[in-house]
């Protein structure tokens, strides 16, 4: 059996990925920060599928909490094959409207969080000379978005980090890839009005916004044997909005 740790795993794309991993027979650790009740409900759902599951709390912006989270996963599972860095926050507004604390928190979660999680799992993966890491960026990390400059900057950094880390870890048989979703029907986009969502769907060549399950399918693909010769890549389930 293989085992995955998914940060931001209690909701949205992370939760959809947890369900898909479990349906494929993987053990899953659901990382969460605030959503304890959701994480525990999801764990029971995964266990009902016949796989081991665990909820682990931690703020990915805090290296000490991340280290404890990974230690708890390894204590429970004794093995970790996949890390999915799905935890993230967003900010919508003019760059002149974001204050210093908001800017720092965005980078602390979206960029530092990815780094902390990778650093925490690497000793185990390097010892085994095996593993895969999937980061979650955004199409705005590829092309940038008006009124989301700070968010775009963090997600662009995730893509660059992924590509560089893939080169560094390839000789150790550890693959590192990125999923850069488009507009997905998650709580992160709940601040968008129905008119905004309709406009984005209209701009998308496939004529709709995506589902968490569609983004999760890209994550699970990059984590599995089907992608064994892929590393340093960005897979973008965005309906053709960004090409």
| Element of type H or E holding 131 | strand 131-136
Instruction: Calculate helix-pair angle for 100-107, 149-169, nearest 10 degrees.
Output: 30
- Cα–Cα distance for residue pair 64/59, rounded to 1 Å: 9
Half-sphere exposure of 137 (CA within 13 A, CB side): 28
- Would you call 197 helix, strand, or coil by DSSP? helix
- Cα–Cα distance for residue pair 176/231, rounded to 1 Å: 5
Which of these, 205, 107, 221, 207, lies nearest to 157 by C-alpha position? 107
Is 32 marked active-site?
A: no
- Cα–Cα distance for residue pair 30/180, rounded to 1 Å: 21
Is there a contact between 26 and 3 (Cβ–Cβ < 8 Å)? yes
List of residues 6+ apart from 159 with CB closer than 8 A: 135, 137, 141, 142, 178, 180, 234
Instruction: Note the maximum CA span of the chain.
Output: 51
Catalytic residue among 3, 32, 151, 161: 151
Is there a contact between 164 and 120 (Cβ–Cβ < 8 Å)? no
Q: How many residues does the chain have?
A: 243
Residue 46: phi and psi, rounded to 5, are: -70, -40
Q: Which positions are catalytic?
A: 151
């Amino acid at each position: 059996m293989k085992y995955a740790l998914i940060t931001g795993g209690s909701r949205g794309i992370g939760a959809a990925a947890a369900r898909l991993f479990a349906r494929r027979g993987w053990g899953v650790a659901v990382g969460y920060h605030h959503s304890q009740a959701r994480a525990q409900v999801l764990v029971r759902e995964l266990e009902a599928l016949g796989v081991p599951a665990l909820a682990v709390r931690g703020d990915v912006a805090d290296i000490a909490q991340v280290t404890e989270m990974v230690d708890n996963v390894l204590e429970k599972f004794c093995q970790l094959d996949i890390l999915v860095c799905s935890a993230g926050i967003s900010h919508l507004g003019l760059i002149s409207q974001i204050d210093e604390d908001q800017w720092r928190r965005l980078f602390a979660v979206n960029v530092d969080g990815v780094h902390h999680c990778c650093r925490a799992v690497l000793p185990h993966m390097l010892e085994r000379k095996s593993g895969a890491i999937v980061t979650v960026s955004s199409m705005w990390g590829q092309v940038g978005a008006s009124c989301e400059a700070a968010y775009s900057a963090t997600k662009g950094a995730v893509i660059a980090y992924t590509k560089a880390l893939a080169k560094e870890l390839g000789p150790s048989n550890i693959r590192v890839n990125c999923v850069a979703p488009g507009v997905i029907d998650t709580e992160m986009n709940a601040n968008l009005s129905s008119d905004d969502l309709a406009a984005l769907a209209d701009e998308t060549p496939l004529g709709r916004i995506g589902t968490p399950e569609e983004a999760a399918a890209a994550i699970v693909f990059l984590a599995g044997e089907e992608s064994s010769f892929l590393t340093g890549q960005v897979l973008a389930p965005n309906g053709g909005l960004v090409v």
